[in-house]
Structure 1
Amino acid sequence: MQKIRTLSTFAMILMLPMMLYYPYQAMVWNLNLSFLDQGAWTRNDVWVDVDAQIATATRVVFFVVWTIPVVLGSLSYLLAFMTLVLVRQGIVFDYRVARRLRLLGIFVFSSSVSSLLGGAISPMIRSWHNADGPLPLRFWYNSSEIGLAFCGLAFLFWGIVMREAIRIARENEEFI
């Protein structure tokens, strides 16, 4: 059990800076592009006409679209950290761990998929005010986002299997 405690402590130490850096870095990019640098959309951009006037509502929509994966990803980090806290306390084969693993999987999967969808609709949102009209949806993919989506599914399935294993073990204990 000491190895599990040591490894979970090490993982928690590694996660702490990322739990702060990930939302900060993502929100700085999003805030700068959406609101703080008003010329960012039209400067050196292949999607937006140089003379396009970008409405505030368009910037808000873009901001919200890219905030969703960040919030879901941040919740994923929080759930992973909370799971490590339980494991560090010696709580391993417990319904709370299984539930957190399932939720972790759901949030990681949702964050990755919403990021992929955000990438597909970003050119359309950013080009809403072009003289020729908005660009169509762009079929965009990022292999790391797809990989994260599969990792999310793995955590989800792992949590489901763990919940069933705990249920079966407790059921068997009652017979004895």
Structure 2
Amino acid sequence: MPESHDHNRLARIARWGRICVIGALLILVGVLSYAVISLVAQPDASWAYLGEEYEVSDVLGPRNSAKLWIIAGIHSLTDILGGVILWTALGLFALFGRGQVFTEETVSRLRRIGWCLFAMAPVSILGQTIAVAIFTFANEAGARRVSVGFSDTDAYAIVVGLIIVAASLAMAEALRLARENESFV
């Protein structure tokens, strides 16, 4: 039986998807490696960068390496979630490339991607709040800050993440019905 046009198109998209994901993973590893090297080699520059990133440059408070590493770890949590999404997507595109579209593994990978994407918003919001509190906790009264931020990107991550989770649940139900129908034949 000849392959369909849609199957060929899916295989092409899967190939390009794998290439893009591998490129993104390499960039992510490079950025995280650079961040770690910067933390070790240039802690003052790291303090300045993180202070600007969290908009607390004017009230950084006492500095120590443990505090710097904790804040940098909090700052990288969304990157770690992004890495999980990319790694999972790499496997998903590999499945698509082999024509394995409606499988339990596909459903599982889609669900994992959806929940990780959904989690990015609360992780980002809580991470910012905790990082700012750590930055300014030891400051004198009046120089301490608490910051809670919610951006449009957080809203998009929540909505798209839930759409992907819902689609994976619909696929799981379709797989269940297909198996049930096969048992009648």
- Which range, TM-score by smaller chain? 0.7 to 0.9
Aligned length: 175
Deviation of the 1:129 alpha carbon: 3.1
1:165 is the counterpart of 2:174: yes
Matches of 1:51 and 1:111, distance apart in 2: 26
1:39 is the counterpart of 2:48: no
Matches of 1:51 and 1:124, distance apart in 2: 10
Instruction: Indicate the residue corresponding to 2:21 in structure 1.
Output: 15
Instruction: Indicate the residue corresponding to 1:153 in structure 2.
Output: 162
C-alpha contact (below 8 Å) 1:123/1:136 kept by paired residues = yes
Q: Larger % of helix: which?
A: 2
Deviation of the 1:141 alpha carbon: 1.7
**Of 165-174 and 133-142, the range deviating more from structure 2:** 133-142
Instruction: Indicate the residue corresponding to 1:3 in structure 2.
Output: 9
For structure 2, the residue ranges without an aligned partner over 5 or more in a row are 1-6
C-alpha contact (below 8 Å) 1:30/1:66 kept by paired residues = no
Instruction: Indicate the residue corresponding to 1:66 in structure 2.
Output: 75
Tell me the TM-score normalized by structure 1: 0.84
Matches of 1:170 and 1:86, distance apart in 2: 20
C-alpha contact (below 8 Å) 1:101/1:155 kept by paired residues = yes
1:165–1:30 Cα change, 3 Å: same
- CA deviations on 1:26-84 (whole Å, 9 max, x unpaired) are 5645764x554333436985625578431222223212212322212101101011001
Tell me the TM-score normalized by structure 2: 0.80
The alignment's C-alpha RMSD in Å is: 2.6
Deviation of the 1:93 alpha carbon: 0.8
Which of 84, 87, 110 in structure 1 is aligned with 2:93? 84
C-alpha contact (below 8 Å) 1:65/1:118 kept by paired residues = yes
Identity %: 22
- CA deviations on 1:100-123 (whole Å, 9 max, x unpaired) are 111111122223321222123322
1:100–1:25 Cα change, 3 Å: same
Matches of 2:37 and 2:138, distance apart in 1: 20
